[in-house]
Amino acid sequence: MFAGYLRFADRCAVCGADFKAADAGDGPAVFVILVVGAVVAPLLIILQFGLHLPGWVALAATMAAAVGLCLALLPPFKALLFAFQWKHKAREATFEDIE
């Protein structure tokens, strides 16, 4: 479903469904920040105070892990949120939705 690292293809390669309206917005980034933060914050504490690594080593390793995890998790989370939008036919609200 992706044409680039985070860019959706114009249509589904299997069934031809139109992906042009696909927009998960900031949703994937929010979930990735929550997940990665929950992983790397304890990692920093363990590396610095559990393994007694020098501060800069622990920080560098934690930052590398944070960047790597974010880059690895963004595409699957973006695909997941788009799948939820597709399944529930989510779209921008209009005045017809109020009545």
Binding residues for Zn ion, per CB under 5 A?
12, 14-15, 17
18/26 with CB nearer Zn ion: 18
Question: In the bound complex, what is the minimum distance in angstroms from residue 33's beta carbon to Zn ion?
Answer: 29
Question: In the bound complex, what is the minimum distance in angstroms from residue 1's beta carbon to Zn ion?
Answer: 8
Signed CA dihedral, 23, 29, 32, 34: sign only: negative
Residue in 23, 15, 29, 16 with CA at minimum distance from that of residue 86: 23
Structure tokens at 96: 């017809």
15/98 with CB nearer Zn ion: 15
68/76 with CB nearer Zn ion: 76
Question: In the bound complex, what is the minimum distance in angstroms from residue 22's beta carbon to Zn ion?
Answer: 12
Measured CA to CA, the distance from residue 13 to residue 88 in angstroms comes to: 21
